[in-house]
Structure formats: C-alpha cells, structure tokens
Chain A
C-alpha cells in the first residue's frame, strides 16, 4: 500500500525537521515494514520556474537564441533552441546540477556550464519531455519548450513545489500488516506515527448528514453474522465530472488512476479511513420504483451457479458461500469485493446510492480466493474491519460529494442496519507481568503515554493497568495481556531492550539416535564409499510409479498438487534415484548416489494425529537408499554387498545376508539379499531388474542398497562396541581348502555347517569362487582359508590335521568334492 506523506501530515503536526525517511525507518522498526520511500519530485531538483527577460539572436547559429532568464535569485544567460521561446514567458529552467534528458531520450545527465557555438550557457530552458513531464504536458511540436505562462507561477520557485509534484510516498509491505485492519488507511497510519514520534493525532472531522426524504430506502440483511453492518444513503443531483486537482493528486499519490468525482471519493475514503465504499448508479440499478420512490437493498447469499458480471467486465459463477448485494430483481454487487457492471457509475449518472458496510472477513476472503478476484476492497474486509468505520466513511463521502457537486442533495435518510459486538475488554495488565515479558522496567508514565496515544483507555488499579481496547483494534487484533505487551514494547523500541542471556543448568541435551545414525551413515557413504548425497522430492509422478511396476492405488495422493506432474507421495525412495542415474550416466561413467529421506506408507501406523487421540497418521519411515551404476559393471550387486558390509563393520554389527523371497518388481529375483541383524531385516542389497531399468530408459545395470534407519535404531545398533579379544601370544595356523560343490549350496550354509565343529577353528574366510565349463555348469569351485589358534599354547601339526579332517567331512556331507 502507498502512503502519501503529505496526506499523513494532514493528521499530525510533524516538524519539518522530521523527514519522510526517518518516519519510514521508525515505522519499520515499530509498526509495519516500509519497503521503500519514493521521492516523486526528486528528479526535478535544481529545476525552477524562470521568466525569460531577453531573447537575442545567436551570433553563430540561425536556429539558436541567447536568452536572459530570471530565476529568482539570479539572472542567467542561456542558449536556447526552442521554437516558441519569447520574452516574458514563464518556463522551466534547469540550473547547473539539474538532471535532464537531452531531447527526452537516453540517460539523465547533469547540467554543466557549456559553450554552445562560441557562446557560454549557464543552464537550460527545458522541454517537458526533457524533465520527465511529457505525460502531463504533451509536446505539440518537436522543438517546443515548456510554456508555463498560463499557470501564474512564482518565478524562482522549485518546479516540483510549484506544480505540487514533490510528493513523498511510503510503500508499505502489505504482508506485514495482515494482522492490523486499522492500518489500511492514512488516518490509522497517522495514529501510529503520532505514537512513535510522541505527537498528537488530530481528530477525524466529519459533518453530520442531514437526511432527505424524497427516496425511501430499505435494507434487509439476511444473515447478520456475514454482514454485521450495512449503511446506505441516496444522493441526487449528481454531476459526474473529473475530480478537482487536490483529489486527483491524492488518487495519483496512492497509485490509482483518477476516474471521476464519485468513484474518486469512494477510493479516497478507502485510503483515508481504510473503509471500502461502493457507489451504485440508482437509475441504472432500476432500483428506485417510480410509483413510491422506494429502494430495497438485500444482503444475501448468492444462488449456486448464479452468473454475475463485475464492473471490470469479467463474468463469474457464484455459489451460496458468497455474499451479494441485490435489489428486488437481482444481484448488483459482489459484497465487499466488486460492484456489478450494470450499476456502475457512468458519465450520465445523476442519482447514486452510497454503501458503507461491514462484512465477515472469512466469507469475503474465501469468495475472493475462489473467484480469483482480489481487490483493494476485499484485501481490507478480509482483515476484519471495525464496523464503526462505516459511519464516519459514509458521512465523509456525503460531505465530499456535496462539496464537489454543487447541485447534489441527500435524497433519503441514512439507513443503518447493524448487529455486532466487539470485545473491548477491559484487560488487566499487571505491571509485573509487563516487565517480566519485556525484560526491562519501563517508566510507568511512558507506558501510559504509549497506550493512550494508540487509543487505549486506561484506568490504574493497584499493581495493574485496566485497559479498554479501542474499537479499531478490537476485531481480532488485541484480546489478551500479551497483545498489550507487544504494543508497549514496540513503541518503546525493541532495540532499547537490554540483551540478556538466561541461566540454564549445564545438563547435556538428550541425544537423538536417529539423527546420530543418519549422520554416521552419511559419513560412511560420502567419505568411506565415495557416494554423493542427493535430495529428491517427496512427491512423485504417476509415470514413475508405473515405471517401477507399482500400483498407484496404494499411494497417498495430494488433493491439490501444483500440477498433475507429481501428485503422489513416494512409497519408495528408489524411483527418484533411478531417475537421477538416468539423468547423470551419460556424463559420468560411474554414478554413486544416496538419499536419506522419508517414505509414506498409508496402511502402516505412524505418529498420532493428536495428543492422546486414536487417529494415526501414515507411517513416515526414514530410509537410506544408495544407488550405483557403472557402464562397465554388469554385476553391481557385489558393490552393494560390499557397501552393506562396510556399514556393518563401521557399526560393529554382525549382519546376516539371506536371499530375499518376497520381491518388489524392481528387485532382481536372484540378486537380492536381505540384511538381517538380530533377526530383524534392517535393509536390502540388490540389483534393479533390467526390465524395470529399461522402463526408466536405463540400459546400464544398477545396484541398490536400502537401510531401514528406524529399524536399525530400534535394534540398538548404535550402541554396539567392538568385540575386543586378547591378542594370542601363540602363532595362528592357516590352512586353505578348495572344493567343488553344487551352485545351490550357499556360503552361508557352509559357514553355519562349520560353526563350532572344533574349538581350535577361529575363522572361516572365503577367498575365491570359480565357475566355468571345466567344472560343469551346475558346479562352482570355492576356496576357503581356515584359521586355527589356541590362547595358551602353540598348536601341534597333528591337532590341526585332525580339525581339518572334520572340516573335510562337513564339506563332503554338503556334497563337496575336495580338489587336490
């Protein structure tokens, strides 16, 4: 919103020593954010009204003149090429230092003393376009200079001042005053400035309306909750004209275009008091019945499906959640948002109905959002305006109308249908509470002065203040003592409050296992394994789900996705990572990525929706998923297996790996292992099935590793210490054994079969696997290293031989044939 500094000063006496920039700064620090201060006349600095005293021919140029110009303080010699320059004319003179645009084009340049064809020139007589006034004074001829003679301006006066262009406008960030319905007009803002600068606010003066009786107006409000107040009055004898200069200038200053006197009056009041008004053309409305001169106004809900054309020409389809203003026949305005095209003020309007009303904030906001129609009016109503404003606004509108249209007269009584109650307290504000919240003892007199300037009525009781809330702050803004703390503190100045540090016990914070584990995993994957971390959206596309071979019906879906592109909540993190591989594999021969994130499973139990409530939110499991693809690696499973082992080793976990039986479509049926810790599945090492990879457009084999962080935390994986063993003083004995066995026999079976067969056998390590034609398609050769030791003595060869014989027997039992 734009606030005109001059307009603001109508309501407070601010000394000239206080500049607009200071007001802006203090408002920002105490009230609302002033985004910028526009000095509208600034480009006219050093440009003054001049009077041409003498015009002589230039000795060296036919088309140039040498003039003597009176600029008040001085008489300047200026060379001028203007076709219309003549003695006695008033003109705009750019003195040295002024900024002008040559012939109205290009960058602004600074005026300097110049020599033009051998004659010195000490300024410039300007064309309107050369000083940015081309719109106000259009050129009639190319070389014409601006002729101000008709305006009878004082010679030497700064041009901006002479033409009333030195407007300073504060631009307020609307978002910073959503909670302040009282600040949406100049008078409310002036109240704040008065409080901040400790000045008195002038009363808002309005003349009483003396009612007429030619027209009988009746208002019926269907639901007073939606329209707590509706005031209206009929004025006849209107003549639609352009607004006078003072009004047009104000309308310009707030960034609107002047339209005509009546529309400008309603806009002026909206920006003055913050109360949006509307003016109907009574005749076009066909509202006034000819036989009894009666007008009926109805405030009601729209009909479902009702069509309505607003005065911007757009047609809207309404529904019964929206409020309309109607006459006996039909809707004539969208309440609080915009008037109808049909009853719009036109140049032929002679009788008008002024409306000043109050509407329910939520109703207006919902309708405005639904219709996509945000107006200055709806922006104000949706903040919950003070219904008392209607009275002042309507009276002011009548006063201005009678002042601007000499033939106008009030033709009806003022109707006022109202039913509202504001909570004005009083609130008790204990002094101790105030000081405790702010953290400093502010002088009592200062507190009283601050609150009084803001319009609060105060009574002092023992130990506390009894505060009555002014109506303009009572709609929703202020209701509890904490609200008053804010009022006092912000005007006192937040930055005058001494900075303090609280005293806390030195208890260390509770550690969050999930976060710690996540951080360890991040470290292992990024530093240990060379994976890069990626963040993907929680929202996925239907296409991704289809590519994964999954059923979109199982997925949670957004009710209002931004586009149809990603409407689902991911049930699996892997889809995004496969897409990341596709995106990068052409540029990087190896792609190693991981993501730590949440996946959403609607059928599983998640956190409670309310404290102690029964309703549970969907499970939002925390997982780490890593993906690996290398153009040269056709069996990436082993990379994932290695990564899983490194994770286990880092956390001192003994993992078991078992073939995964229940597979998701993207999990390779013969290359997928569940990672098991303490009988709980804590993850998966696998390869993406080539068919699924192909769906994504990926022809390279990709491995995936998944770690269920929540499950791992639950199993206590974070607190496992390394299993320390005394280092034996006696040498270990190692024996190798290779054997051929059917492919179906797994490493795990072999290791478990050898488990505890001899107390001297300490370690069983696989070091080679061979498959090839020489040993037959169904067979593989496996080579193991067996380590034997005793903590108290050196082993004898025969002892080890005996133990190895046991090993041999176990292998043979499994169908293995020892190779010699």
Chain B
C-alpha cells in the first residue's frame, strides 16, 4: 500500500509538471483526486482492510500525498493563469508616446510676475517686508519729499504724466514715491521692498514703454555705510541668481540719495570677457543705489544724525526681458496669448 502511494505520488507530480493547459490539469485532478474514480480515492478505499497500526501509517501517508498533489496542482494553475493574463493584458497595450486627449491646458503667469515673485522670495528671506503702493500719487511723495526741486527735469511733463484738473497729482515716474510713505508708516529700523508699476511720458517702441515695472528696496538703521550697501545688494543678487556675483560701484546721481551710485554686475553670460548681452563691456548696468539723503530721512520724520538709510532700485521689466531674452518690450503689455502662453 505504501509503495503504491509513493508510486502514485511520483506519477501524479510528473504528469502535473507536464500539463499544458487548464483542461489537462482538470483531467489530472479528476484522474488522481476524483471523488468517485480518482486513483488516490480508489487506493484509500483499501485502507479499511488494513491492520489498525498499518492503517494509521498508510492513512497519514495517503493524506500527505493528497496534499502534495493538491499543492502541485495549485502551483501549476498559477503558472498557467499568469501566462494567460499576460496575453490578456497585451491586448490592452496603449501608445505611451501619444498625448492624453483631450488636452488639459495649464494657465500661465506673466513673465514679470514670475521675476517679481523670485525677487520677493529672496527679499522676504532676507527679512524685507514687501509692500504695495499707489500708482497715482501726489507731487509731494513723488518729488518734493524726495528732495527733487520744482526745477528738476523729472518734474517736466516731458517725463511725468500729470492729471488734468489736479496739478498736484501724477502717475508715479518711479516707485521711490514709497520711500517716505513707508518710513512714515513703519518707522525705523526698517527693511522693506516695494515693487510696482511706474509711468514715464515717452513714446513706445521696441525698447521703450510708458508703463513698466521697478523693484526698489530700502533699509533704515543706525549704522549704514557704503560697504553695507554693496554687501546687501550682493547678497540679494546672489539669492536671485543662485551664484556669487561680482559687482562694481560707479558714481550716479539721484537727488534722494547722497552719495548715489550706479551698480554694474559682472556679466553672468560671458563671465566678464565681453559678449552681446553686456555690449562687450563685461559688465551689465544693474541698479541705481545710494545712501538715503539726510533731507529725505528728515522729511520722513527721523533724525538724520541718528538714522541712516540706503536704497537700491532696479528695472523689473528689464530683468524679465534679460532673463527670457524678450526682444520687444511692447509684448509685455500687449495681451497676445501667443506670447503669454510661452511662460
């Protein structure tokens, strides 16, 4: 009996291994384990004729053989079905190179917005408040409070838009109108940035706009010198460009700072060797800056002997044009989706 069981086991396992499909397997299951005529079932019918002790051993063995055959059948079933799955899934193949349809279009942020937000991010991280202010402002905040006398050319209607029937109102020609406003609002010490839209009375062409954007910042504290000015601006530029920048300071004149400077940055494209982007000079004019004029500090309500300030401003529109290589400034205010969708 035991020999017969061993033989049956060997035979069954071999047959199962050789099975080709589910039909084969079902036949084999029937052949060996079938309830009525299965070979193992038939063998086990002979158990009752055995001695008690022998029946126990043979019964145990028969049970083991049954389990082994069942396990082999299950394993084989799994093998066969995964092959069938593969065939099934093959029929579901998609062209992964094709775009999803219908296309979902994303929206686009204006290029100036994008550069503005980069600047804001750096400024905030350096502890600057970021503020907004009026586009239409008084002659007082635009000029008088900034130590710009009535005879200064910037006050000409050639350069500044004035408002009809309100001779003391104008469209701000620079965001510097915010300097005294913000010093009055927040007091000292102060670190603040105030980007915004500015207006100049000039005819538009590919490189001139009457409406453009500036980014200006100021710091008021008890100890502020030229070395600090360079240091702060260098850090800001480093934050913006994520690389060390080399700068140089030259004299520049703005009535609301003394001394005033122009700051050039070593061209990041050619590294200072000279290229088209820097007009072959190796340097790019980047911003105007200076120590805040004591008269402006005083007008803002502080003692210029105690409080010292510095301010620096750059053209945001120009920065965006440089960054993306935009050749015509008019596109920025033009509303053409063919342009806007590129950003």
* Chain A residues close to B by CB (< 8 Å): 28-33, 176, 178-179, 361-362, 365, 369, 436-440, 480, 482-483, 485-486, 489-490, 494-495, 497-502, 504, 506-510, 512, 514-515, 519, 522, 525-527, 529-539, 556-562, 569, 576, 579-580, 583-584, 587-588, 590-593, 598, 600, 606-607, 609-611, 615, 617-618, 620, 622
Contact = CB atoms under 8 A, between A and B. Distances in A.
A562 B231 contact: no
A500 B130 contact: no
13 contacts: A362-B151, A494-B249, A500-B227, A502-B232, A504-B127, A512-B132, A515-B120, A526-B108, A527-B106, A527-B107, A611-B184, A615-B168, A618-B136
Interface in B321-343: 332-333, 335-338, 340-341
Nearest to B221: A502
B114 to A, nearest CB: 9
A432 B252 CA distance: 24
Interface string B221-255: 10111111011101100000000000011111100
Contacts of A490: 251, 259
Given A361-B151, A499-B231, A522-B113, A486 B251 contact: yes
Contacts of A587: 337-338
Given A559-B167, A560-B162, 20 more contacts: A494-B261, A497-B227, A501-B228, A501-B231, A501-B235, A504-B191, A525-B107, A533-B107, A533-B110, A534-B340, A535-B335, A559-B157, A559-B162, A559-B165, A562-B204, A579-B335, A580-B335, A583-B336, A584-B335, A588-B337
Contacts of B223: 436, 502
Interface stretch (B5-13, B25-33, B88-96, B194-202): B194-202
A509 B336 contact: no
A532 B157 contact: no
B30 to A, nearest CB: 47
Contact of A530 (B104, B129, B169): B104
B228 A29 contact: no
A598 B335 contact: no
A620 B251 CA distance: 36
B117 interface: yes
Given A489-B226, A526-B106, A620 B291 contact: no
Given A176-B253, A486-B258, A489-B259, A600 B136 contact: yes
Given A584-B337, A609-B140, A535 B332 contact: yes
Nearest to B186: A510
A483 B258 contact: yes
B273 interface: no
A438 B308 CA distance: 12
Given A509-B191, A557-B164, A534 B226 contact: no
Interface residues of B, number: 93
Contacts of B68: none
Contacts of A598: 134-135, 197
The B contact surface, by secondary structure, is mixed
B137 interface: yes
Contact of B202 (A514, A556, A562): A562
A607 B134 CA distance: 7
B161 A33 contact: no
Contacts of B134: 598, 606-607, 617, 620
B162 to A, nearest CB: 4
A31 B251 CA distance: 6
B87 interface: no
A528 to B, nearest CB: 8
Contact of B110 (A28, A438, A530, A535): A535
B158 to A, nearest CB: 6
Nearest to B258: A482
A483 B290 CA distance: 12
Nearest to A580: B335
A369 B201 CA distance: 14
A703 to B, nearest CB: 16
Contacts of B340: 532-534
A495 to B, nearest CB: 6
A562 to B, nearest CB: 6
Count chain B CB atoms within 10 A of each CB in A525, A529, A531, A576 and give the residue with the most: A531
Contacts of A531: 107
Contacts of B168: 609, 615
B156 interface: yes
B176 to A, nearest CB: 16
Which of A494, A497, A562: most chain B CB closer than 10 A?
A494
A562 B203 contact: yes
A562 B209 CA distance: 11
Contacts of A522: 109, 113
Given A480-B294, A556-B163, A562-B210, A536 B251 contact: no
Contact of B228 (A439, A539, A556): A439
Contacts of B249: 494-495, 497
Which of A178, A438, A515 counts the most chain B CB atoms within 10 A? A515
B227 A610 contact: no
A654 B145 CA distance: 45
Nearest to B153: A365
A440 B226 CA distance: 9
B131 interface: yes
A226 to B, nearest CB: 13
